[in-house]
Structure 1
Amino acid sequence: MSVLGNAGSFLFRCLAQRNATKTGFNVFVTNLCLSDLLMGVYLAMVGTADSLYRGQYLSYERSWTASAVCKMAGFLSLMFSEVSALIIFLITLDRFIVLRFPFSSKKFRQKSALLASSIVWTVGFLLAVIPLLPVTSHWEFYGHSGICIPLPITRKAFKGRDYSLGVIIILNFILFIFIAAGQSVIFTSVRSNRLTTDTTKKYQDTTIARRLLTVVVSDFACWFPIGSLGLLASAGVHIPGEVNVAVAIFVLLLNSALNPFLYTFNLLMEKRRKTLEMRLIKVLDARVVTRETDTEHNAACRGIQNIPEDLTVNDAVSVLAHSLLAKETTWEKLTAVIACVSSDGNSDVQ
């Protein structure tokens, strides 16, 4: 499901959203999707081994953990998990800059986003390949567990544990602290968004921030427990060895499988909402006829025809406010609808 979901999401962004992919934000999201897709390959490799050795794993444990396939699986897991964490950090940084400094020229464009993504993939590759170098080969880093990656979330000692703790726990923990802080600022900016001050571009940026929030929260919820368990184990707290398997199977699987559905589902729902919204805007616009000579309230109300009996002020404001931000209607039409609906007793302002 993880591989299929991420593959579908990746193709959707590359084909259906070809023009949108040219923006810095979408470059990052496409790279995140690709990273999760390749993480699904790791999970498929481990899952296949589990099926092959089920019921007789103890007899083949050493041959599996020492195999080239296990080393490759561990390499892929470490590389793509770090790439995902770094890409999410870049996405948060991009949204932070856009929302907090909307008039700044220092933003991620397509070229700068591609450069930053290339650096992230290089860093992820280097972090994953270091345990395979001749000077560190004695660690047998990727052969300490059946899941092929030594998560330092128990008190069990093994060669290369300090490296694993530094990369998987401390580095990711620091990244997600910054991500949490950045998302808090972004959330505050979204909540403080006001119709009277926001431009169309600001409204679009806010919409993207809302769409992104679920993806970041999902990744944070998956990786924060791993960091917490690692720090607790380092502090001497006993963590059962079975937690390694549970984390790999459920946390990593949930993370890589859920992401594509979150950001693609959010995008599709946003398109559906806009389609329905535009239909309602057309209906309301067709019923609003402003007159330059109408200065009195009752005269303005006579200029609006066929207002539904159950239409409330909130309905009119909610729909026309979005079209006003997109410059698809005018203040005159908005106030005319509100005035008429209020006078007809349909007011229901919260």
Structure 2
Amino acid sequence: MNLLCRNLSQSRAQPKSAHRTLTKDLVDRILGDIGGAVSVPLVRIGDALGLYRTLKEIGPVKAHELADATGCAPRYVREWLVAQAASGYVHHQKGLFSLTPEQAFVFAEPDSPVNLIGAFDTAAAMVGNQPKVQSAFRTGEGVAWGDQAGCMFCAVARLFRPGYVNALVQEWLPALDGVIAKLKSGATVADVGCGHGVSTVLMAQAFPNSRFTGYDFHLGSVAAAKAHAEAHGLANVQFEVGLAQDFDGSDFDLITCFDCLHDMGDPKAAASHIRKALKDGGTWMVVEPIAGDTLEENINPVGRLYYSASTMICVPTSLAQETGLALGAQAGERRLTEVIRSGGFTHIRRVAESSLNMVLEAT
């Protein structure tokens, strides 16, 4: 009888113990997430005040030395540094602070393929966007791109810029069938949904014999894109206000859409218009966030980032437009292919991918 009671007691205790372990694991994970969340303003301060850049240049240093070099108050810099060291964003040893090559790659080198400052800017904008999106949860309405909180457009442009700088000309365009030869000899190109024109300017710089037109429906972004092109002294690029489903121009050799098809209210109408605007034998390059076709395939760090951004940015933006199809940032290749095919394209293939993007070719 005593043995039976002991066994029953153990069987009851085991689930409780397992429950406590699972709860602890969850709490530990959430504490890590909160630590990352409260690091957002600190990272942005470090970027804005040149703390990361200077630390890379003169480290290892003491806190007051970094403060002197950046013109900041020593007490604030000291607290910032220890917070960064606790996060693993800054290296600390024997009272001296520095950036490892890996940390510099993420925080202090703008053209690094893994520079993630733009992700922190986007996270901050998402927090600012909460009241508008929270209200939209009740009404089912959208939040227009131009009504997003803060400079969402600046943050998103900065988030995707490292990927474009390191892969667009070097890998993505060469993966398209016959496109590089056309660009070198002189092609007409439309960059639809160009935003601040990062992608458009990169292509225009690489292929001076071709002519590029960037289209975007947001006036502020078009103005920023024009300023961007002027700063680089480019004569083979222009920017116009236009919607994806009715922008001006025709007989394009290449049309590109960078991380914007899923944001459109009516991407099927856009696909149809793009097909008509292409020359015979022309190519549509669609760059979209990397994703699998099922939720299970997207339960990973990148999927987590994109699903969250989609909830706060992409879905509200789409729902504020026309039919509001709201594909979402994790639509996946199968769903995107259906949308592209609806426009009259018959050949669609994935030609390249990175940790954040997939590249589809449609002809």
- Normalised by the size of structure 1, how large is the TM-score? 0.29
Rg larger in 1 or in 2? 1
Higher-strand-fraction structure: 2
Flag the structure with more relative contact order, 1 or 2, with Cα contacts below 8 A and sequence separation at least 6: 1
- Normalised by the size of structure 2, how large is the TM-score? 0.28
Higher-helix-fraction structure: 1
